[in-house]
Amino acid sequence: MSRMTTERPDPAGDPIFYFYRDVMLTGGDATRLYLIRHAQSQGNTGEDLTTGDPDLTETGFAQAKRLGERMKTQKLDAIYASPLRRTQETAFAIADVVGLDVRPRHDLVEVTTGRADLDIRKLPEAEQAEIARRVVEDGTWDAFPGSEGSANARKRVKTAIDEIVVAHPGERVAVVCHAGFIQTYVSVVLNHPSDFVFYPFNASIASIRAKGDRRVIWRLNDVAHLAEMGAGWKGIS
């Protein structure tokens, strides 16, 4: 447990913020993580539901470009990404702007919910109904037959992020990954039994600070950089 310093608060600042600075990891020695869901892919629009590795759409490339401009203001020290096309294309759009290399990590891939070429919407209605029931009642990846499973997914995402934090103490790191990965990690941070505590939008940013064993969520589903895209961006795609 971190100790609070004995320095007096700046009278010109927010006194409450002073007392929160340890618990909220506001000091410069905490790692700032930006967990970014890839921009809109052809899988999100239904154009490619069979390969398991779709490219971005035209809208997705526009989102990725805006992500790059947004992340330029964060003064990143490193960019990691899942090796799949949609995450690599998103990550390189950021890297081109901020001037960093993209570091691929296989353990940042999406949570597996079954065979990549299987569209669960084409399963018999009874099977779909059973999956839907378990998703609501259990709230974990175990609801999907043939999935990676909740325990394995949580262990993988936690280990991956922990290793990145250890490698970048006090730095700012973008991690371009997938919706299920981000959902799972947020559940781990919150120690929540459900794997689905929120839905990450395409090209959204989840900001988390980390130091030692402590994690603090700063924001979820930050899509301010997409605000001017109008009808070209659908937040739930």
Quick one: pLDDT at residue 149? 95
DSSP single-letter state for residue 56: B
pLDDT tens for each residue of 4-58: 444 444 545 666 667 677 788 887 799 999 999 999 999 999 888 778 899 999 9
- Give the percent of the chain with pLDDT over 90: 69
Q: How far apart are CA 183 and CA 213, in angstroms?
A: 19
pLDDT over 60 at 150, yes or no: yes
pLDDT over 80 at 126, yes or no: yes
Q: How far is CA 141 from the centre of its chain?
A: 17
Closest CA to 41 of 103, 87, 96, 97: 87
Residue bearing the bigger pLDDT, 164 or 10: 164
Q: What average pLDDT score do residues 215-225 get?
A: 96
Phi/psi for 208 (5° steps) reads -135, 135
Tokens of 230: 């109008």
The CATH class for the domain spanning 29-227 reads alpha beta
Beta-carbon contacts of 137 under 8 Å, excluding residues fewer than 6 positions away, are none
Quick one: pLDDT at residue 236? 44
Quick one: pLDDT at residue 6? 45
Question: What mean pLDDT, rounded, does the chain reach?
Answer: 89
Handedness of CA 113, 114, 120, 126 (dihedral sign): negative
Residue bearing the bigger pLDDT, 175 or 50: 175
- Among 75-79, 119-123, 135-139, the range of highest mean pLDDT: 75-79
Quick one: pLDDT at residue 117? 63
Quick one: pLDDT at residue 229? 84
Quick one: pLDDT at residue 11? 47
Quick one: pLDDT at residue 62? 97
End-to-end distance of the chain based on CA atoms, in angstroms?
40
pLDDT over 90 at 95, yes or no: yes
Quick one: pLDDT at residue 170? 95
Quick one: pLDDT at residue 25? 86
Quick one: pLDDT at residue 146? 87
Quick one: pLDDT at residue 71? 96
Quick one: pLDDT at residue 1? 37
Q: What angle do CA 33, 184, 99 make, to 5 degrees?
A: 30
pLDDT over 50 at 68, yes or no: yes
